[in-house]
Homo-oligomer: A and B are copies of this chain.
């Protein structure tokens, strides 16, 4: 019943966790834990996450991507990361393209794509790196850069030698094992290292057995796990795995799955990997080689049945997918296997970043709710992140946002589409009201185009905002141009499909929030309403124009918690606040988006552009919080009262 005796005399407390399998992080030498652990995995390195899944028997998958060729390709790949990230991959990996200046700052480089995946999409990411034909200094430079960007995992590869006449260099990097050794030597245990395994032996190896020995050398040199080259039959992998175990390779070996998605991609890959396609597959494919859909369907079937065999073998807990940067086939396979997360649990109400220095971050201002990548970008130079309480940690100011062109901050829609949605030609401020109203209602605009994004919201309305749709539509029609809102919530289960977040068994709460642009006439009426006794103590407001002229009733410029959660056996989590100080930084960005994203669609001095410019110069940005979260949201009544006052100007 009892366990290890506790020494009461030396002043340090130790205790064992009984009934919970997890560790006792940071509690031995301090009187308290160093960080709260809402989501244990967020604090683990990849090999620990893998181990946790292995121990629990939970199946997992990972996804391989290659860097895009063009800037547009980068924008698309990042939205693919966001979408496929929803399915819950344990990690993604980005291949290293020696010909594409892979370590550079170009938006299409391997380094920058991996950086974006980690920091902006919050994905655990493995960056491939090859070593042949590179100097030690170049490789160290790449590794240092990767570390600085928050990358924690490297897939160490030899890479393809350039030219036919490749010769081993003395003291050079000739094999992946040299790179593994170099990483461990220069960076100690910082990186988790993955190496490649060849179920049929490396094409250049003297023999299958010799290749196995090379693999063992890579593991002995410090690799943490193995991902295999593609194969066509499950028995190929299972035999390989047994052979690995027989020679003492004990680390995880993850099968690489290549869903056949087309005739040409298969041929190309086979040529590169020097693998032979089994006769039974060839026989099916050849007759349908011009029917892409048929080949993909076959590829899905084939992959599903092979994956099932692997998972059923009891030797495999994770599957690695060569996606070829495509979504449909892999997603379908994962769904059919039942390992795609249909209802991803949100650890926090906003998308977390996977940079190690942001591990403890658990509070953000609500303003960037629809622009999390911009928030991450503007705070990337911070050395520490608020944790537990916004007001608690001191951090440098927000960076200015001038980099609207950065591919991970750009709108996914091209200019022509934006013009269709937001109007080729604006006639008046009312045309702008209509755009906002259509975005909320989902109805097409006068030209018949649906408005699926706004400069402040690059995605369609969130499920939670949908709860407020009717009221939002009404106020937007009247020139209350809403860009952010949330309903009040008085203790819904943390598993609620719409507003839930965090571990199960908890309760989540929200204060009603509304943020909008509106004209100075409306502001005059609104302020009169807000200062009536009815709302004075109940509603906190911040009202600011582009010049920073600011009106607020926030006590002592303190932040106001607007989302919080209570969980079993945890401290309170309060992930979003309305912070008066950061609101002044947000307003710079919110006003600039009128110009950067909208006005600039039109010719200079065109009437359309002047209308947007007028709004930018003259409207106010307002945020309202209803502090009475247990009562019915009063912010709609505030709006009603304001409209009423505007309708009866004599009573002013």
> A residues engaging B (CB < 8 A)?
1-8, 11-20, 22-25, 27, 30-37, 40, 386-398, 400, 490-491, 505, 507, 509, 523-524, 527, 531, 536-538, 540, 542, 544-561, 564, 566-572, 574, 577, 579-585, 587-588, 625, 627, 629-630
Bound-complex Cα distance A581 to B579 (A): 33
Bound-complex Cα distance A630 to B390 (A): 27
Given contacts A566-B564, A574-B571, A581-B31, whether A551 and B1 have CB atoms under 8 Å apart is yes
Bound-complex Cα distance A509 to B506 (A): 14
Copies of this protein in the complex: 2
Chain B residues with CB under 8 A of A630 = 491, 507
3 nearest CB pairs, A to B: A6-B548, A388-B389, A13-B584
Q: Are B548 and A5 in contact (CB under 8 A)?
A: yes
Bound-complex Cα distance A467 to B395 (A): 45
Chain B residues with CB under 8 A of A581 = 13, 15, 27, 30-33
Q: Are A396 and B555 in contact (CB under 8 A)?
A: no
User: How many whole Å from A528's CB to the nearest CB in chain B?
Assistant: 10
Q: Are A17 and B553 in contact (CB under 8 A)?
A: yes
Q: Are A1 and B572 in contact (CB under 8 A)?
A: no
User: How many whole Å from A323's CB to the nearest CB in chain B?
Assistant: 35
Given contacts A13-B585, A559-B571, A581-B13, whether A549 and B4 have CB atoms under 8 Å apart is yes
User: How many whole Å from A20's CB to the nearest CB in chain B?
Assistant: 5
Bound-complex Cα distance A25 to B556 (A): 7
Given contacts A6-B584, A387-B392, whether A33 and B557 have CB atoms under 8 Å apart is yes
Given contacts A400-B11, A550-B6, whether A32 and B393 have CB atoms under 8 Å apart is yes
Q: Are B570 and A6 in contact (CB under 8 A)?
A: no
Q: Are A33 and B558 in contact (CB under 8 A)?
A: yes
Bound-complex Cα distance A36 to B551 (A): 21
User: How many whole Å from A573's CB to the nearest CB in chain B?
Assistant: 9
Interface of A is mostly: loop
Q: Are A18 and B584 in contact (CB under 8 A)?
A: no
Q: Given contacts A11-B398, A20-B553, A36-B392, could you give 19 more A-B pairs where the C-beta distance is less than 8 Å? A: A2-B551, A4-B550, A8-B587, A16-B550, A16-B552, A19-B536, A25-B557, A27-B581, A33-B557, A33-B581, A34-B391, A36-B389, A36-B558, A37-B556, A491-B630, A540-B568, A555-B570, A571-B574, A571-B577
Q: Are A8 and B559 in contact (CB under 8 A)?
A: no
Q: Are A555 and B569 in contact (CB under 8 A)?
A: yes
Chain B residues with CB under 8 A of A40 = 556
Bound-complex Cα distance A386 to B34 (A): 11
Report the nearest B residue to A582, measured CB to CB.
Answer: B31
User: How many whole Å from A36's CB to the nearest CB in chain B?
Assistant: 5
Q: Are B561 and A572 in contact (CB under 8 A)?
A: yes
Bound-complex Cα distance A133 to B7 (A): 52
Bound-complex Cα distance A550 to B14 (A): 9
Bound-complex Cα distance A551 to B1 (A): 8
Q: Are B558 and A571 in contact (CB under 8 A)?
A: yes
Given contacts A2-B549, A388-B391, whether A505 and B33 have CB atoms under 8 Å apart is no
Question: Which of B1, B19, B571 is within 8 Å of A524, CB to CB?
Answer: B1
Bound-complex Cα distance A536 to B18 (A): 12
Q: Are A566 and B571 in contact (CB under 8 A)?
A: no
Bound-complex Cα distance A582 to B390 (A): 25
User: How many whole Å from A8's CB to the nearest CB in chain B?
Assistant: 5
Bound-complex Cα distance A550 to B3 (A): 7
User: How many whole Å from A511's CB to the nearest CB in chain B?
Assistant: 8
Q: Are B8 and A566 in contact (CB under 8 A)?
A: no
User: How many whole Å from A620's CB to the nearest CB in chain B?
Assistant: 9
Chain B residues with CB under 8 A of A558 = 33, 36-37, 569-571
Q: Are A555 and B20 in contact (CB under 8 A)?
A: yes
Chain B residues with CB under 8 A of A627 = 505, 567-569
Q: List 26 A-B contacts (CB under 8 A).
A: A1-B523, A4-B549, A4-B550, A6-B549, A6-B584, A7-B548, A11-B397, A13-B548, A15-B552, A15-B581, A20-B555, A27-B557, A31-B395, A31-B585, A32-B391, A32-B581, A34-B391, A37-B556, A388-B388, A388-B392, A509-B566, A538-B568, A558-B570, A561-B571, A564-B572, A572-B574
